[in-house]
Amino acid sequence: MTNLVELKDLTFAHGSHRVYDGLSLDVPKGKMVAVMGPSGIGKTTLLRLIGGQLKPDSGSIKVAGEEVPQLKRDALYQLRKRMSMLFQSGALFTDMSVYENVAFPLREHTDLPEEIIRSVVLMKLEAVGLRGARHLMPSELSGGMARRAALARAIALDPDLILYDEPFAGQDPISMAVIVKLIKSLNESLGLTSIVVSHDVKEVLSIADYAYVIADKKVVGKGTPDELRNNDTAIIKQFLNGAPDGPVAFHYSDDDFTTDLLRGEG
């Protein structure tokens, strides 16, 4: 099976803070791959690297056979037309209605006549259950609806690849279930390839074909959801079961607590 996305020996640092050190990861075409890990390990950064918004310090990022960090601007923009990203906040344009938001990529990148744009937009909105909300402005939507509207916009151009940034974070159980089902069914019916970055273990493992666990700047575990559940490594067990302390420390690293208290300064 061919891989749509291949990351190899990736290193990346935000200033002096090293985020990735030798990270490698493959995403097969047509599959849904979950990338899990504790907060703050740069999962969003990973998506931005894949989308070419950030450049790695070294290593290779291949999307559809193209080396993303080396692409010229125009080639990068061509490639981006084939991928979509669902931002955690939805990132809907606040000065446009839901309808206009979904129509936006179509108007920017196609010359379709207005009637066809209308049909496409209504189809996409129907798929996420928001056809009735097309006239609302983003400020009138609930968090879950905003994310679904953003999802409709993300699939407007029928991309090959969708990058989901924490799609389940901060959702109530019902809208969480709706989004889980939606992402799964879109992936199957449109033949998409998806990368879902999330720390909602139960939800993401219920729909992913394959999953990676990232911690400590690299991949610490990978496999199908079942393989991961049976994995005995301490760090993966801690993460999947949600134990507060373990290899991933609860405490932000500092000196010994007693020494710190006795020192008596800030």
Partner 1 sequence: MIQFIQSVGRQVLDSLAGIGYALAMLMGAIIGKPQPAKSWPLFIKQMYVVGVLSMLIVIVSGLFIGMVLGLQGYTILVDYGAEQSLGPMVALSLLRELGPVVTGLLFAGRAGSALTAEIGLMKATEQLSSLEMMAVDPLRRVIAPRFWAGVVSMPLLALMFSAVGIYGGYLVGSGWLGVDEGAFWSVMQSAVDWQDDLLNGIIKSIVFAFVVTWIALYKGYRSVPTSAGISAATTSTVVTASLAILGLDFILTAIMFGG
Q: Which residues bind partner 1 (CB under 8 A)?
A: 48, 51, 53, 77-78, 80-81, 83-85, 87-89, 91-94, 104-105, 108-109
Output the smallest distance, CB 81 to partner 1, in A.
5
Q: Which two tokens stand for residue 41?
A: 């390990």
Q: Which is nearer to partner 1, 29 or 81 (CB)?
A: 81
User: Min. distance of Cβ 196 from partner 1 in angstroms?
Assistant: 16
Q: How far is CA 181 from CA 25, 144, 184, 207, in A?
A: 25, 13, 5, 8
CB of 153 to partner 1, least distance (A): 8
Output the CA–CA distances (angstroms, integers) from residue 117 to 123, 124, 136, 138, 236, in the order listed: 10, 11, 18, 20, 46
| Cα 258 → chain centroid | 41
- In the bound state with partner 1, the residue whose beta carbon lies nearer, of 77 and 181, is 77
Beta strands (DSSP E) in 29-168 are 32-36, 58-63, 66-67, 83-86, 161-165
Quick one: 84 or 171, whose CB is closer to partner 1? 84
Nearer to partner 1, 53 or 224 (CB): 53
**Closest by alpha carbon to 212, among 80, 18, 66, 41?**
41
Amino acid at 28: P
To partner 1, the closest distance from the beta carbon of 91 in angstroms equals: 4
Q: Which of 88, 238 has the CB closer to partner 1?
A: 88
Q: State in angstroms the smallest separation of the CB of 108 from partner 1.
A: 5
